[in-house]
Amino acid sequence: MITTVLGRVDAGSLGTVLAAETLLCAPPAGRGNAGRPASEAHFERVPVTMDRLGRLMMGAANRDDRTIDGAETEAALDALAAAVREPGDGDGPHAGAAGSDGSGSGGAAPSGAASGVAGSGTGTRFGAPPAVVALAGRGSSADPALLAALSRASGVAIVRGVDGSAGQGRADVPADPETLAARIAEALRATEHPAGAVGALPLPGGPGAGPGVDRADAARIEAAAVAAHDAGVALVLAPRSDPWSIAPTGPSDADALRRALAAVDAAGLDRSRVVLAGAAAYVANRDDAGEPGVGIDRARLAMLLEHGTALCFDDLGRIPNVRTVVSDHDVAVAILRCAEHGAGDRILLSSGIRNKHRLTAFGGNGLEFVPQQFLPYLRMLGADDDLVRAVGGANAAGVLAHATTGEAEV
């Protein structure tokens, strides 16, 4: 069973599962121009419009682009529900959802990707309700009651993540491990709109962080992992604290991941219950100088698999540009390679949308990209139905399902 904001559901009843979304976003409060050029400060405050999409796709900071509210999220969830429902299923749980035929994709589908109704030749199941994991942290502004209302309105099952940092007196001061663990446990035990996963938690340390900060971060991960272990739920780790960053990770991030997993081991949480988000950023090619190249480094992918966690490729559907290091095609090929090495059951997918311009209504591919375009493309490259079904939702459902069966039903 999986705990959603509306109660428990059978893991086997779900179809497409997007394993690492945010759904509701809000940037932190600005601090004036903060020494930046006036043109950048001005652009940060203007609304998202068609003529500004180029700069937004290149990563330019913009508060409106980093803000996704309830109405925009409901439209995105409706489009996801429409993309996976059985044709003619007008009386099902997604009846009335907005249609989505792929025509608003902006041409961002992988080269040769199929379009049309998801499930056609992909191995996915028509009519099975989709699910989305709504992670805390990472720019999330999600309120549990609002997530529940969005789930009811769209028919999409929503699994709420909790990171334990909410409710701080100062947002920039992390909770101590004991407080964090208590908040996580409370959210997981809640009788109304309960959380069903822990995370996403940033890795220990960061650029320029001292050893004291690194140890404190590792202690918080260990405390969160203990809470996840005790509740029998999954823990999600994030490769970076900035939710809007589009750059690949650096060498220090690999060390931070090892320290995080050491904390997970100390907590007694099995690594199969850990999801590493941002997997593509870890395996991006680098040149001899360590600078980002293009595509995926097979050796880095093999090393990442050795950690034994689930890997979530959670940046699918981004419209390619000159800053694209790992394309959706590269991810699809990497998934096939993982399957060849017996690791196809550890791959999860998501779009990881944290920018307004990536929603269908604003010119992007939306949440429906995975079932509607990426899975058919993966199938076209040679993936069989079992693999497509696994990475499209079954793997994520298995990781999210409670590890024990003794808990009281929510």
Residue 37: the pLDDT is: 84
pLDDT for 7-23, tens place per residue?
999 999 999 999 999 99
Residue 204: the pLDDT is: 84
| Packing angle of the helix pair 211-231, 251-267 (nearest 10 deg) | 50
The yes-or-no verdict on residue 102 having pLDDT over 70 is no
Residue 123: the pLDDT is: 44
Cα 288 to its chain centre, rounded Å, is: 30
Q: Which residue has the higher pLDDT, 386 or 284?
A: 386
Position of tokens 């600078």?
Answer: 291
Q: Which residue has the higher pLDDT, 137 or 162?
A: 162
Residue 172: the pLDDT is: 59
The yes-or-no verdict on residue 121 having pLDDT over 70 is no
Q: Which amino acid is at 227?
A: A
Alpha-carbon span 317 to 56, nearest angstrom: 15
For the segment 53-73, the average pLDDT, to the nearest whole number, is 91
For the segment 190-212, the average pLDDT, to the nearest whole number, is 80
Q: Are strands 274-276 and 131-134 parallel, antiparallel or unpaired?
A: unpaired
Pick from 68, 47, 201: which is nearest to 146 by CA? 68
For the segment 333-351, the average pLDDT, to the nearest whole number, is 96
Structure letter (DSSP) for residue 148: H
Structure tokens at 275: 């999801």
Contact 54, 127 (CB under 8 A): no
Average pLDDT, the chain: 83
C-alpha distances in Å from residue 70, one per residue of 43, 89, 133, 306:
24, 26, 16, 39
Q: Angle CA(256)–CA(261)–CA(266) in degrees, nearest 5?
A: 130
Q: How confident is the model at residue 92 (pLDDT cuts 50, 70, 90)?
A: very low
Residue 36: the pLDDT is: 75
Contact 161, 236 (CB under 8 A): yes
Q: Does residue 200 have a cis bond before it (omega within 30 degrees)?
A: yes
Residue 69: the pLDDT is: 95
Q: How confident is the model at residue 374 (pLDDT cuts 50, 70, 90)?
A: very high
CB atoms within 10 A of CB 41: 15
Alpha helices in 1-88 (DSSP H): 38-45, 53-57, 70-84
Residue 38: the pLDDT is: 82
pLDDT for 238-287, tens place per residue?
886 666 666 666 666 788 899 999 999 999 999 999 999 999 988 888 77
For the segment 27-37, the average pLDDT, to the nearest whole number, is 72
pLDDT for 145-177, tens place per residue?
999 999 999 999 999 999 988 654 445 567 889
pTM of the model: 0.86
Residue 105: the pLDDT is: 34
Alpha-carbon span 324 to 190, nearest angstrom: 41
Position of tokens 């780790």?
Answer: 237
Structure tokens at 384: 């069989």
Tell me how long the chain is. Answer: 410
The yes-or-no verdict on residue 323 having pLDDT over 70 is yes
Contact 108, 363 (CB under 8 A): no
